[in-house]
Structure 1
């Protein structure tokens, strides 16, 4: 079985993302637009990278990721290689709650305002998930997450 990963990057042009993805994943990366399933190299991962409006507007979808790869160290490696913050969905099912992965490898929960547009979701108003915020206190979904409010983890320890 293979996995699907969805990430967002803080303003990296797609032309810079593809080679960084290949290095972070340690695999051949084939852009979705040119990938021919009948001719895929062994161990290739199909990725789609495009730009959308809003913060963290560079979108990354990786299809067919081998189960042997672990997502958090891979996205941490991508953030480091690009020198940019990345975000991915967390485990709360809250559309506005994400994990922020910094270039230094730290992971922390954050919230965004999410607005649906014709071009997909637009994120804005980034804020830390903290018990100081009324929306993140004891009754919230935040406390049911592996990533509790105010938590900060190194990427490799979090994997």
Structure 2
């Protein structure tokens, strides 16, 4: 079984992502535009990296991720190698709720305002997912997540 991972990185050029991603995953990383499925090594990961508007504007999609690689530990390794925070979707159905992964490997839930644009999804107005915010209290979807409001978890514990 293979997976699709989709992450966003804060202020990094796409050209910097490929070598860091290869090191973080311990795999060959092939850009989607250059990938020939008939010539790919079995352990290769195909990635598409592009710029979107808003915060965390560098988007990384990894296709065909081999089993055995942990998404949270992999994105934490990428954040450390690039020295940039990353975000990925969490386990709720809330389109604005993400997990923030910092270069020190800490993972915590955050919220963004999400707007669709002609150039892709735009994230703005980042805020922590915390019980002090009315949108995260009570019956919010935040409480249905394994990432409770105000949680701070090391990436290795999240694997």
TM-score by length of 2: 0.99
Structure 2 distance, partners of 1:144, 1:153, is 17
Q: Cα RMSD between the aligned structures?
A: 0.5
Instruction: Write out the 4+ residue segments of structure 1 that deviate beyond 6 Å after TM superposition.
Output: none
Q: What do the CA deviations read for 1:9-61 (whole angstroms, capped 9, x no partner)?
A: 00110111000000000000000000000001230000000111110000000
Distance in 1 between residues matched to 2:143 and 2:46, nearest whole Å: 35
CA distance, structure 1, for counterparts of residue 65 and residue 16 of structure 2: 20
> What secondary structure is seen at the aligned counterpart in 1 of 2:100?
strand
Alignment correspondent of 1:78: 78
Unmatched 5+ residue regions in structure 2? none
Aligned residue pair count: 159
Partner of 1:11: 11
Cross-structure match for 1:56: 56
Q: What do the CA deviations read for 1:88-126 (whole angstroms, capped 9, x no partner)?
A: 000011000000000000000000000111111100000
Q: Which residue of 2 aligns with 1:88?
A: 88
User: d(CA) in 2 for partners of 1:133 and 1:102?
Assistant: 22
Provide the C-alpha distance between the structure 2 equivalents of 1:41 and 1:9, rounded to a whole number of angstroms: 27
Q: Distance in 1 between matches of 2:60 and 2:155?
A: 19
1:39 is matched with: 39
Pairs within 5 Å for 1:98-137 = 98-137=98-137
Aligned residue for 1:135, secondary structure, equals helix
> Per-residue deviation at 1:84?
0.2
**Cα separation, 2, equivalents of 1:56 and 1:143:** 25
Partner of 2:30: 30
Alignment of 1:137-156 (within 5 A): 137-156=137-156
- Structure 1: tracts of 5 or more residues without a match: none
Deviation at 1:138, TM superposition (A): 2.1
Aligned equivalents of 1:77, 1:37: Cα separation in 2: 27
SS in structure 2 at match of 1:123: strand
**Secondary structure of residue in 2 paired with 1:55:** coil
